[in-house]
Structure 1
Amino acid sequence: MKDRSHDQAMAEQFRADPAYAAELLAEVRRDGDPAELAATLRQMAEAFGRAGPWWDGLTDDERALCAAQFSRYDTADYLKTGDDIAAYLDAVAEDGDPALIAAALGDVARARNLSQLARDVEGDPSLATVVKVAHALGLRLVFKPTHGGSEPAAGG
């Protein structure tokens, strides 16, 4: 397998099948997702350059997206201290989405350069895996009442 980026692979696909490139661009425009549009335009610029009929059909805003350089965002890059990590995990836990919590633990593992732990929480980990990963990160799960703790427990 060649060592190439996703953008390079897509550019190769576009060069091999320009009709597919045009169809994909039309679909991405309909969907209206700016990030997806920027990625598709970047890949098409790599495939076809910044000239020709495809380029002439772009709006000024789309041409600007082709020229824009976007940096990769990774939450792990911003988790510098224990307080950062605790605040991040608290915010994620408020949503209550298990997949989001697992992803957040993966972010924390990457922030601490624990790549195997980050891989362990990909997909749909069990609660046991989440607890083990949290423990390995020096964290513990804490449960708090959602309504201040003054309401009686259900069934009681």
Structure 2
Amino acid sequence: MVKTSKFDAADYLKTPAAIAAYLTEALETDDPAYICVALDAVARAKGIANIAKATGLGRESLYKAFSGTSRPEFDTVRKVIGSFGVKLVAEPIGEEEKSG
């Protein structure tokens, strides 16, 4: 029998470039629950305790905010993303995306 292990994106999010690419893909889905799952994966990769210390937020509130069942405040998301070593940016929507 072949042994498999559960995939965890957190195992592959080691660099700011990998984190930025992963979060960009998640944000492009426009699915709030999936975006929270992605934020949770990055937070676990960086260490929830480290994120809590860097943002001044409690570990429990971070777990709750990114559980996928709640809608975290924008300020929480902004602080957490900054603690990941990446930033949010805006870019124009391409004509093909705008018309779809």
Please report the TM-score for the alignment, with normalisation by the length of structure 2: 0.67
Q: Sequence identity, in percent?
A: 40
State the partner residue of 1:89. Answer: 23
1:48-127 to structure 2, matched below 5 A, reads: 67-115=1-49, 116=59, 119=63, 120-122=65-67, 123-124=69-70, 125-127=72-74
Superposition deviation, residue 69 in structure 1: 2.6
Superposition deviation, residue 118 in structure 1: 5.2
1:134 to 63, 66, 81: 81
Q: Give the counterpart letter for 1:147 in structure 2.
A: G
Segments ≥4 residues shifted beyond 6 Å: none
Contact 2:16 2:84 in 1 (8 A): no
Superposition deviation, residue 85 in structure 1: 0.8
For residues 36-75 of structure 1, the C-alpha deviation after alignment (integer angstroms, 9 at most, x for no partner) is: xxxxxxxxxxxxxxxxxxxxxxxxxxxxxxx443212110
RMSD of equivalent CA atoms: 2.3
The alignment covers a number of residue pairs equal to 83
Structure (1 or 2) with the larger CA radius of gyration: 1
Superposition deviation, residue 130 in structure 1: 1.3
Q: Which has the higher contact order (CA 8 A, sep 6+)?
A: 2
Q: Distance in 1 between matches of 2:37 and 2:7?
A: 14
Superposition deviation, residue 107 in structure 1: 0.8
Unaligned runs of 5+ in 1: 1-66, 152-156
State the partner residue of 2:92. Answer: 145
Q: Distance in 2 between matches of 1:108 and 1:118?
A: 12
